[in-house]
Amino acid sequence: MSNQILIQLVGSASEVVELSNALVDADFEVRSNRRAAPGIYVRVREDSSDEAEVGRIASAVAPGHQRGPSASPTTYIEGYRES
């Protein structure tokens, strides 16, 4: 069982839409940021290749994105991205 965190990614509204779609296609859980700046939270497993994969996808799809502070999810998803 690995810890899970939420990575915050912010960018223009169009970048956020494209980024959300690409990350969902890659089987990541994506949530709306609900803050003033357009952004999303992406659930990743700590100590895995998830953060690097999210970074690679974000750089390819939304080169103008920025990473915000990480957050702790309120729930744990058993078996998340383990298959």
Instruction: Please report, for the domain that includes residue 36, its CATH number.
Output: 3.30.70
- Does any domain span residue 75? no
Q: Which of the 8 DSSP states describes residue 55?
A: H
* Residue 64 predicted with pLDDT over 70: yes
Q: At residue 19, does pLDDT exceed 80?
A: yes
- The yes-or-no verdict on residue 80 having pLDDT over 80 is yes
Instruction: Write out the residue range of the structural domain in which residue 57 sits.
Output: 4-67
Q: Tell me whether residue 74 is in a domain.
A: no
pTM for this entry: 0.89
Structural domains counted in the chain: 1
Q: Which two tokens stand for residue 23?
A: 């990350």
Q: Tell whether 50 is covered by a domain.
A: yes
Torsion of CA 81, 72, 34, 20, to 10 degrees: -20
Average the pLDDT over 59-72 and give the result: 93
**Residue 37: per-residue pLDDT:** 79
pLDDT at residue 76, rounded to an integer = 92
Is 80 among the domain residues? Answer: no
Asked if the structure places residue 31 within a domain, the reply is: yes
